[in-house]
Structure 1
Amino acid sequence: LTGEIITTPFCYVATTASIVWEGCRPVFVDIHPAYLTIEETKIEAAITSKTSAILATHVFGNPCHVEAIETIAKKHHLKVIYDAAHCFGVNYNGQSIFNYGDVSTCSFHATKLFHTGEGGAMIANDEALHEKLFYSHNFGHNGPLDFYGLGINAKMSELQAAMGLALLPYMEMILNERRKVVDFYNVNLDFSKLKGLKIRENTDWNYSYYPIIFENETQLLKTEKALNEHQIMPRRYFYPSLNTINYAKGQAMPISESIATRILCLPLYMELAEKQLNKICNLIND
């Protein structure tokens, strides 16, 4: 890929950084205020003769409007890469979200739903591209004595693989327990002054994060302080909007910038007791 890559300002910094590392220029497109994914209706206006790809993020495991993005990409002969870091176990329209786009990446970092301590996966629908990605992550090796081409060391260690294999049999139980936490928040939080994440229709979600959006940053900071005083540690995620970081030099993205200052991800994990959940909800509601 060369030139300009259309991307979202509302995701983790690694997404924008990968574009800059490759000598390309990130061109930001603002986000949908409810789904928090890239606003597909604004993508075409950002395409120029230098555009070579769209790099979009399935935010908190919530799918982008993949059909619209595919249509735009085909029309303008662009590649589509999905940052699907949060998407382990997500299905959209009855199939894995990883089936969409030219390449999807999934994170196995320790903070993720399924993890190996560190690491991740790359998924490609084209066999030749998959083969190139695979040899590239292992120094370019073709067996012990030959090489396909240039590569780096991006292999997963045996210890990381063991961690993943130990966790894999419990994923159904983990998803069920996380669903219970999400259901509790949905019922017990006061949404008269908060907004939650709108999950895209036809999505089987994985309950990866529970973000809430405040009316203003002052209210967020007040609530965060109250939670911290009770040793409850929510996360400002994603913050800041990536168009504002020094090396990105992006244009103003009003929706992303506003939401980034007002969004807080609440604790969400197995064995989060009802007593603790009640305390979290009461502190937020108060």
Structure 2
Amino acid sequence: MIQVTRPYLPSRERLMHYIDGIYERHWLTNDGPLVQELTRRLEAYLGVDNLLLVGNGTLALQIAYRALGISGDDARGDAVTTPFSFAATASSLKWEGVQPVFADIDPATWCLDTDAVAAAITPATRAIVPVHVFGNACDVEGIDGLARRHGLRVVYDGAHAFGVTFRGESLLKWGDAATLSFHATKLFHTIEGGAIVFRRRDDLERARLMINFGIAGPEQIDELGINAKMNEFQAAMGLAQLDEIDINLAGRAAAWERYDQALSDCFITQSRHPACSNNYAYFPISLASESDLLGILALLQEHGVVARRYFYPSLSRVAALAPTRGLPSAADLSRAESLARRILCLPLYCGVPAEQVIEPLLAGWRYHVGAA
């Protein structure tokens, strides 16, 4: 069975080197030396400042909202975001008491359409939460201009954007904050984990208190906080991963390029921003119709290939996230909802047997799409 993803595991010897240090120190959590080392190394590798490690990618979003005043006791309102994303993008807002307002996507890049965002902004809007979908850069310049004109915060969900650059600089530098997920299925992972990159140092320091119950010292609590810390075993995995990141990336890149060569003339693929690098995190394809998708999905399954309808369903169809007042109708989200019904992500990881995916996929395309 070829799964849609397979977590990269570094050499056991390399991982044990870091874990042996944990056993020697008996320091398991609370900003341990491995968390500190991983923070420094990730800032250097990604080319960013003000990076904060947290327990998972959803907490990264929630802490970013709190630190920036988008959510919290004094914050009420909406945030404009995309319905074409993983559930946590919108559910983290709802969980924090902020109503997600969905705007439609660009039909080529699959990221938020800036004009649709502008149309969705109301006096109740507090923030914009765009997603760098499949590691493709949003219209960061257009969104930045919108946010400045309307006095809004911007938090980028960069769960897919690890290592991506825009005009030669880290894509994570855009916005008031950008978040990362280090879940086991991601290109870079700490089993579970995540990070926030803040534009301003003051926001980082506030968030640092928040992730440790607001504790500023042994007898001092300065902030309403929660437990969102990364532990030393997570950091050990992250450091071992980072030691082998070039091996992982090379394997993914080879598979991505083979897919692109074989499939780009047959299927609709994402139009990547020309100033954006590729981290080879995903290879999504879009079919002409949902019936074509279901036929090809079934054929792949017959050949032991697990592809995923990613992202499906559109978050605009999730009852728990439903907007309640003065927000865009479903018709305004037609591009996102159509794409969600027609998209598949192919298996992509270091070592994936790409040819075993390509062969049945092309056979399915010829049969279901009617090609010669």
CA distance, structure 1, for counterparts of residue 87 and residue 338 of structure 2: 17
What are the Cα deviations for residues 46-83 of structure 1, in whole angstroms up to 9, with x where unaligned?
A: 11111111011000111100000000100000000100
Q: Which has the higher contact order (CA 8 A, sep 6+)?
A: 2
1:121 aligns with 2:195: yes
CA distance, structure 2, for counterparts of residue 275 and residue 212 of structure 1: 16
TM-score (norm 2): 0.74
Structure-1 residue corresponding to 2:289: 216
Unaligned runs of 5+ in 2: 1-69, 71-75, 324-328, 367-372
Structure-1 residue corresponding to 2:51: none
1:198 aligns with 2:198: no
CA distance, structure 2, for counterparts of residue 18 and residue 163 of structure 1: 26
Q: What are the within-5 Å matches in structure 2 for residues 247-266 of structure 1?
A: 247-250=320-323, 251-252=329-330, 253-266=333-346
- Inter-CA distance 137–54: structure 2 relative to 1 (3 Å threshold): same
| Between 267-276 and 48-57, the greater mean CA deviation after superposition | 267-276
Letter in structure 2 aligned against 1:268: L
Unaligned runs of 5+ in 1: none
CA distance, structure 2, for counterparts of residue 277 and residue 169 of structure 1: 29
Structure-2 residue corresponding to 1:241: 314
Letter in structure 1 aligned against 2:312: Y
Hey, which of these two has a bigger chunk of helix by percent?
2
1:161 aligns with 2:235: yes
- 1:189·1:285 contact (CA, 8 Å) conserved in 2? no
State the superposition RMSD in angstroms.
Answer: 1.4
TM-score (norm 1): 0.96
- Inter-CA distance 278–10: structure 2 relative to 1 (3 Å threshold): closer
Q: What are the within-5 Å matches in structure 2 for residues 1-286 of structure 1?
A: 1=70, 2-189=76-263, 191-192=265-266, 194-250=267-323, 251-252=329-330, 253-286=333-366
Identical pairs, percent: 43
CA distance, structure 2, for counterparts of residue 42 and residue 278 of structure 1: 36
- How far apart are 1:277 and its partner, in Å? 4.2
- Inter-CA distance 278–236: structure 2 relative to 1 (3 Å threshold): closer
What are the Cα deviations for residues 188-208 of structure 1, in whole angstroms up to 9, with x where unaligned?
A: 12634x201111111111011
Letter in structure 1 aligned against 2:268: K
What are the Cα deviations for residues 11-67 of structure 1, in whole angstroms up to 9, with x where unaligned?
A: 011111111112121111100011000001222211111111101100011110000
Hey, which of these two has a bigger chunk of strand by percent?
1
- 2:295·2:364 contact (CA, 8 Å) conserved in 1? no
- 1:9·1:29 contact (CA, 8 Å) conserved in 2? yes
Letter in structure 2 aligned against 1:93: R
- 2:299·2:360 contact (CA, 8 Å) conserved in 1? no
- How far apart are 1:180 and its partner, in Å? 1.0
Secondary structure of 1:4's partner? Answer: strand
Larger Cα Rg: Structure 1 or Structure 2?
2
| Between 83-92 and 173-182, the greater mean CA deviation after superposition | 173-182
- How far apart are 1:272 and its partner, in Å? 1.6
- 1:227·1:283 contact (CA, 8 Å) conserved in 2? no
- How far apart are 1:274 and its partner, in Å? 4.9
- Inter-CA distance 152–80: structure 2 relative to 1 (3 Å threshold): same
Secondary structure of 1:196's partner? Answer: coil
- 1:190·1:285 contact (CA, 8 Å) conserved in 2? no
- How far apart are 1:109 and its partner, in Å? 0.3
CA distance, structure 1, for counterparts of residue 364 and residue 280 of structure 2: 20
- How far apart are 1:145 and its partner, in Å? 3.1
Letter in structure 2 aligned against 1:43: V
- How far apart are 1:265 and its partner, in Å? 0.1
What are the Cα deviations for residues 197-236 of structure 1, in whole angstroms up to 9, with x where unaligned?
A: 1111111110110000000001111111111111110111
- Inter-CA distance 274–36: structure 2 relative to 1 (3 Å threshold): closer
CA distance, structure 2, for counterparts of residue 275 and residue 205 of structure 1: 21
- Inter-CA distance 110–283: structure 2 relative to 1 (3 Å threshold): farther
CA distance, structure 2, for counterparts of residue 117 and residue 283 of structure 1: 36
- How far apart are 1:244 and its partner, in Å? 1.1
- Matched residues, number: 285
What are the Cα deviations for residues 136-172 of structure 1, in whole angstroms up to 9, with x where unaligned?
A: 1111122333222111111112111111111111112
